[in-house]
Amino acid sequence: MSAFEETPDGAWRVEGFATALPQRGMAEAALAVAWAARHEAPPELAIESVAPRDWLGDNQASFPPMAVGRFLVHGSHHRMAVPAGRIGLLIDAATAFGTGEHATTRGCLVALQRRARRRAPPQRLLDMGSGTGILAIAAAKVWRRHVLARDIDIEAVRGAAVNAARNGVAGLVSSRRSNGYRDRAIGRAGPYDLVFANILARPLAAMAHDLARHLAPGGIAVLSGLLAHQERYVLCAHRAQRLVLIERIAIDGWHTLVLRRPASLDLNE
């Protein structure tokens, strides 16, 4: 099992877990091969034994309830009443991304809340790269509208369906596997008034054309999963599709972009 994360300064930290102690020589050789294309010495390899732990309990304890605007994101291990005026989102930490603690998810929830203040609610909603389904569930709770949730990872799809049921919106959130916008149901249910895409910078840029094609005139796209230095790259891809930046939300070095498709835009021009 492995885990990795990118820090705001662009560095990567990779951790791997094994049930048996790996041979250092073999591990160092594999690392050297993986690093060869960089034409520099590979990073130092550290191998250490980890004492037995209640990993699930420790993981759950590391996710205390978190307030993001009107939303209160919490796991099932916190048996608590949601305060009046708050919208509870019950999301357990699992293999899929999106438990509310990351700046990108928080940025999307802030953007969602700001859209909720508008008089005209969106009628057609899509959560592309839905992960745990947290954004689709939040949108379904706020607007009581049907939301399509799509992810390339089948485990994320299953988890999002379970989370939707646990939050009482199983009938409003449709979770299915899709490689980007290839699911035909996406085309049949669109065009969309609001699209969430909390993924990563490169796939966001690669899907800019598909996003614009599925946005309704005047529709809004909330994009996240990009670091501050990646904004220009992502924004250029979407400006090429004539989408307009209307808001930027910056949290802990991560940016969430809110874009609009002009009402008069004809993508067939």
pLDDT tens across 111-139, in order?
A: 999 999 887 899 999 999 999 999 999 99
105 in any annotated domain: yes
Assign residue 220 a region (left: φ > 0; alpha: ψ between -120 and 50; beta: otherwise): beta
pLDDT of residue 6: 53
What are the tens digits of pLDDT across the range 203-216? 999 999 999 999 99
User: What is the percent of the chain where pLDDT is above 90?
Assistant: 58
140 and 7 in a common domain: no
43 in any annotated domain: no
**Under DSSP, is residue 232 helix (H, G, I), strand (E, B) or coil?**
helix
133 and 6 in a common domain: no
141 and 254 in a common domain: yes
88 in any annotated domain: no
249 and 120 in a common domain: yes
201 and 119 in a common domain: yes
What's the helix, strand, coil split of the chain in %, to 5?
Answer: 35, 25, 40
For the cut 70, the answer to whether the pLDDT of residue 59 exceeds it is: no
Other CB atoms within a 10 A radius of the CB of residue 261 amount to 27
Q: Could you tell me the CATH number of the domain that includes residue 175?
A: 3.40.50.150
Please state, in angstroms and rounded to a whole number, the distance separating the CA atoms of residues 11 and 5. 8
pLDDT of residue 269: 44
Higher per-residue pLDDT: 36 or 131: 131
What's the farthest any 2 CA atoms get from each other in the chain? 63
56 in any annotated domain: no
208-246 b/e (C-beta count within 10 Å ≥ 16 → b): bebbbbbbbeebbbbbbbbbeebbeebbebbeebebeee
93 in any annotated domain: no
24 and 115 in a common domain: no
183 in any annotated domain: yes
Local structure of residue 71 (DSSP, 8 states) = E
What are the tens digits of pLDDT across the range 143-182? 999 999 999 999 999 999 999 999 999 999 999 999 999 9
142 and 24 in a common domain: no
**Residues 2, 34 contacting (CB under 8 angstroms):** no
182 in any annotated domain: yes
- What phi, psi does 109 have (nearest 5°)? -65, -40
Higher per-residue pLDDT: 30 or 243: 243
pLDDT of residue 26: 76
Please state, in angstroms and rounded to a whole number, the distance separating the CA atoms of residues 106 and 115. 14
Tell me the residue range of the domain where 15 lies. 2-38
The side-by-side arrangement of strands in the sheet containing 215-227 is: 173-177, 147-151, 125-128, 192-198, 215-227, 254-260, 244-251
What are the tens digits of pLDDT across the range 210-265? 999 999 999 999 999 999 999 999 999 999 999 999 999 999 999 999 999 998 75
Q: How many independent structural domains does the chain possess?
A: 2
pLDDT band at 93 (very low <50, low <70, confident <90, very high): low
- DSSP per position, 116-171: HTSSS--SSEEEET-TTSHHHHHHHHHH---EEEEES-HHHHHHHHHHHHHTT-TT
- Give the bridge partners for 227, in sequence order: 254
pLDDT of residue 260: 97
76 in any annotated domain: no
237 and 106 in a common domain: yes
CA dihedral 172, 178, 179, 184 (to 10 degrees): -90
Closest alpha carbon to 183 in 148, 215, 146: 148
Average pLDDT over residues 35-45: 75
34 and 106 in a common domain: no
110 and 30 in a common domain: no
Residue with tokens 């910078």: 201
172 and 241 in a common domain: yes
pLDDT of residue 5: 54
113 and 14 in a common domain: no
- Give the bridge partners for 257, in sequence order: 223, 248
